[in-house]
Amino acid sequence: AEPLLRVNGLKKYYAASGRSAFRRSVVKAVDGVSFDLREGETYGLVGESGCGKSTLGKSLLRLTEPTEGEALYRGVDLFKQSRKSLQAYRRELQIVFQDPFSSLNPRQIVGRALEEPLVIHGIGSPKERTDRAMEMLITVGLRMEHYYRLPHELSGGQRQRIGLARALILNPRIVICDEPVSALDVIIQSQIVNLMRKLQAELKLTYLFIAHDIAVVRHISDRIGIMYLGKLVEEAPTDKLFANPRHPYTQVLLSAVPVPDPSGRRERIALEGDLPSPLDPPSGCAFHTRCPFATERCRTETPIRREVDEGHFAACHLI
């Protein structure tokens, strides 16, 4: 079947600020990423902070303008739409951020914040909007009285429930979740992830779930893509990725995930150094400066993406 969203060769480059005009530096935040989002699935996008995953999410909604590539939503390229025609699609693609209230007025009651998307899209009468907001509070496991609360009166978990309610009030089909549980403690994290799974089933949602922690996306993702310095280095169904990670970077990420069965414990692989700057990414395979298996070839030649098993792709010279 046709994917709900097909991302093709997405690039987001921007000029680095504070640099001399003679050295025109370009940050390749997202550097040629392609993947499909299938109807009803959760695609987990994982990588270290600074790898470009948030930029990718924002580019899909054009909250930041992509430099190159396509985003075909039901066959229509979102990157080619005028601002005006994009508005219609923006109802169907919503985003949830780590802290949903960071961009909202702290003196505005929750109910008003919830209704805002309806106001922006000119949907319903004031009474209908209030009814819909109340309904959404129940949907995300809160109570109607939360309508009158101020953001600071809510816990982190409650705030993220409001974030979800606000994203879902327009009845979207795709929700881009950018580290939605990263600021929460572990117990609240699993409550929110469980709520998201329940909402996905009830409302037939498709998720792009962005996280730096692969353990967080494991139980919600059907497939996982691993990003390193603006590129997708591995992609596989979740089970296959955990059973047989092929890219050395994925192996490093997985070696840090605790396993319930001690006999299945992987040896922890330590990653040397920090993520290199996307301003000056390493030549060849960008991971070669930290890869335990790097050879001379890795320094000069960029590995191409290969299918190593059905639906399982990786880009590494070793495979």
**Which residues sit at the interface with Mg ion, rule CB under 5 A?**
54
Q: Is 245 in the site for ligand SF4 (CB under 6 A)?
A: no
Q: Considering CB distances under 5 to 8 angstroms, the limit depending on partner class, which of ligand SF4, Mg ion, none binds residue 291? A: ligand SF4
CB 281 to ligand SF4: min, Å: 12
Residue 90 CB, nearest distance to ligand SF4 (Å)? 37
- Cβ neighbours, 10 Å, residue 213: 15
Q: If binding is defined by CB under 6 A, does position 229 make contact with ligand SF4? A: no
Count of CB atoms situated within 10 Å of the CB of 60: 23
- The rounded Cα 292 to chain-centroid distance in angstroms is 27
Distance of CA 295 to CAs 54, 310, 319, Å?
Answer: 31, 27, 13
Find the residue with minimal CB distance to Mg ion. Answer: 54
Q: Does 226 bind ligand SF4 (CB under 6 A)?
A: no
Q: Which stretch binds ligand SF4 (CB under 6 A): 57-65, 71-79, 257-265, 292-300?
A: 292-300
Calpha distance 68→13 (Å, rounded): 9
Pick the stretch among 88-96, 97-105, 267-275, 291-299 that binds ligand SF4 (CB under 6 A).
291-299
Nearer to Mg ion, 54 or 206 (CB): 54
Q: Pattern of binders to ligand SF4 over 95-124, x per CB under 6 A?
A: ------------------------------
From the list Mg ion, ligand SF4, none, pick the one residue 54 interacts with, judged by a Cβ distance below 5 to 8 Å according to partner type.
Mg ion
Sheet holding 5-15, edge to edge: 26-37, 5-15, 68-73, 76-77
If phi over 0 gives left and psi between -120 and 50 gives alpha, with beta otherwise, what is residue 171?
A: left
Angle 130-151-61 from CA coordinates, rounded to 5°: 75
Closest CA to 101 of 175, 151, 155, 169: 151
- List, edge to edge, every strand of the sheet that includes 93-96: 93-96, 174-178, 206-211, 42-46, 223-228, 231-237, 312-314, 306-309
Contact pick of 293, 300, 307, 309 for ligand SF4 (by CB under 6 A): 293
Give the H/E segment covering residue 68. strand 68-73
Residue 56 binding ligand SF4, by CB under 6 A? no
Q: Please choose which of ligand SF4, Mg ion, none residue 288 contacts, taking the beta carbon within 5 to 8 angstroms, the exact cut-off set by kind.
A: ligand SF4
| Interacting residue ranges for ligand SF4, rule: CB under 6 A | 247-248, 285, 287-288, 291, 293-294, 298, 303, 316-318
